[in-house]
Structure 1
Amino acid sequence: MNDLDQERYRAPALDKGLDIIELLAGVDGGLSQAEIAKKLDRSPNEFYRMLDRLVKRGYVARLEGDRYVLTLKLFGLAQLHAPTRRLASLAMPLMRELAEITQQENHIVVYDRGHPVVIAQLEAPGYWGISIRVGSRMGLFDTGSGHVLLAFRSPEVRAMMVAEHVASGGPDGRMTEDFVDRLEQIRARGYEMMPSAQTAGVINLSAPIVSADGEALGALTVPYITLINTPEAPDIARTIEALTETARQISALAGAGLGADAIETN
């Protein structure tokens, strides 16, 4: 296509939106509307409606101080489907073994555009157990899976995940000093253990599935319930051992089969 054809088929509004996305992709900490306009050599008024639409569609998040940052939505759109299907396929035999060992349900969660999302699930082999549907969207701050996905990410990516979660309708103001300390404790011990915020009597046990550089690809979670009529079922300490070992094995498979950057999880 020659220069004349390129001009003939220009889409100014689309170009403006792509200019904003490409600019924000190259900066840390975000930019104000005035700074965006200055760097793109345009009037600030030209970008008001475009920024508003990008925020509403989830591609950009608006932070305190009227600063705009790029979310992880584009990365999620590009990376989510094929890699997560491969991750689920690689993990399923190990998840089945974990369910048999623990007599508990287990599932894998990845981060996608503001929320942890269940991509694979294996029910408990006995009569009783918790069942969580594939595709379920979870909280980032009130689930073991969400805690693990935050704990095993860099501070910069963690901040982007939180901004994206808030932009998608999630609660704000949860990244307190105490909560950050908790995330560091999870990272140090290698798993999260917390009472379910959704179901009484359930203890969420979550361990990271990590890439070669230690960044979370996903979280493997067992919603542990005490099985009174199944004396051979392991206690919670042995369940944690089985969970963390299974997560380690899935991480090794993911590193070999997917590559360190294949899945965002985000």
Structure 2
Amino acid sequence: MARKTLKTESGEDLTADDKYRAPALDKGLDILEILARQSGGMTRTEIVREMGLSPSQIFRMLERLVARGYVARSEGGDRYSLSMKMFVLANHYPPYRRLAASAQPLMDDFARQTDQSCHLVIPEFGAGLIIAQASPVSHWEFRARVGSQLDLFTTGSGIALVAFQAPERVEETLRQWGVASAAALAGIQDQIDAARRQGYRLGASGQFVGVTDISAPIFGPDGDATAVLTCAFIQHVDDTRAQKLDDALAHLLALTDTLRLP
């Protein structure tokens, strides 16, 4: 499909994406993104060179970012770096809290429809952390306690979290999570490969007899799994309302697709 274009007052083509441009805001965001890639900060000259603009176009914007606390100037005044303000603002309402808030009603609906429980897991300090859980209305259930930590290499949720990271940087990702264990990664490689082929991880629980873990990734904007939703499937022999495993899997995949982060 051809890209829709508009016309400026002078008759020049203007794409739909350009219609609402705010050049000053763009410059400020460019500065923040450039500084975010530099751990040691940058001089004004280096920022100007990186952006390809004149010093006069950068000076006032940079000084406003300093005045508002988004950028910090070194004591000598010649280097600029990001302050902690953006981190503080982001953590007023952390992304994972938003994810849990969005997921909970959908998880509750999943539990009602399938008569199975499910729990939401994120990577945290070298483990998987359960941040939300939903239970069916029946009196039989598998309950995962919110706040519990799960091993990344022996649980369905943990293996799925690892499996759906970019293969070329999975070891780096594990180090960022606080895990430095190439040997442990090699030990679950077959399960990782199988999960990647299927698009989810399905297998017998490593902790409970008779439980089948169904774990599906929730992808972030970079294409890596930012969280995993797991159904600890239990076959109810005396309850005709309980859904079959294939039905629970289909419901779970539809739910995680809905929760994919933009």
User: TM-score of the superposition, structure 2-length normalised?
Assistant: 0.61
Asked if the contact 1:140–1:165 (Cα under 8 Å) also holds between the matched residues in 2, the reply is no
Following superposition of structure 1 onto structure 2, how do residues 117-128 of structure 1 map, counting pairs within 5 Å? 117-128=129-140
Matched, 1:154 2:180: no
Counterpart position of 1:238: 247
Counterpart of 2:149 in 1: which secondary structure?
coil
Mapped partners of 1:147, 1:81: distance in 2:
28
Asked if the contact 2:153–2:188 (Cα under 8 Å) also holds between the matched residues in 1, the reply is no
Mapped partners of 2:193, 2:167: distance in 1:
11
Question: What number of residue pairs does the alignment pair up?
Answer: 176
Q: Give the alignment partner of residue 184 of structure 2, picking from 174, 192, 198.
A: 174
Larger relative contact order (Cα-Cα within 8 Å, sequence gap ≥ 6): 1
Q: CA RMSD in A?
A: 2.5
Counterpart of 1:175 in 2: which secondary structure?
helix
Q: Which structure has the bigger radius of gyration?
A: 2
Mapped partners of 1:212, 1:181: distance in 2:
26
Query: Per-residue deviation at 1:112?
Result: 1.0
Give the unaligned 5+ runs of structure 2.
Answer: 1-38, 41-86
Following superposition of structure 1 onto structure 2, how do residues 208-227 of structure 1 map, counting pairs within 5 Å? 208-227=217-236
Following superposition of structure 1 onto structure 2, how do residues 123-202 of structure 1 map, counting pairs within 5 Å? 123-163=135-175, 164-166=177-179, 173-176=183-186, 179-202=188-211
Query: Per-residue deviation at 1:188?
Result: 2.2
User: TM-score of the superposition, structure 1-length normalised?
Assistant: 0.60
The aligned amino acid for 1:241 is: A
Give the unaligned 5+ runs of structure 1.
Answer: 1-21, 24-74, 256-266
Query: Per-residue deviation at 1:156?
Result: 4.9
Asked if the contact 1:114–1:161 (Cα under 8 Å) also holds between the matched residues in 2, the reply is no
Asked if the contact 2:156–2:230 (Cα under 8 Å) also holds between the matched residues in 1, the reply is yes
The aligned amino acid for 1:135 is: G
Counterpart position of 2:12: none
Mapped partners of 1:83, 1:173: distance in 2:
31
Mapped partners of 1:194, 1:148: distance in 2:
11
Query: Per-residue deviation at 1:95?
Result: 0.7
The aligned amino acid for 2:147 is: G
> Which moved further from structure 2: 185-194 or 155-164?
155-164
Q: Are residues 161 and 79 of structure 1, via their aligned partners in 2, closer, same or farther at CA, if it must alter by over 3 Å? A: farther
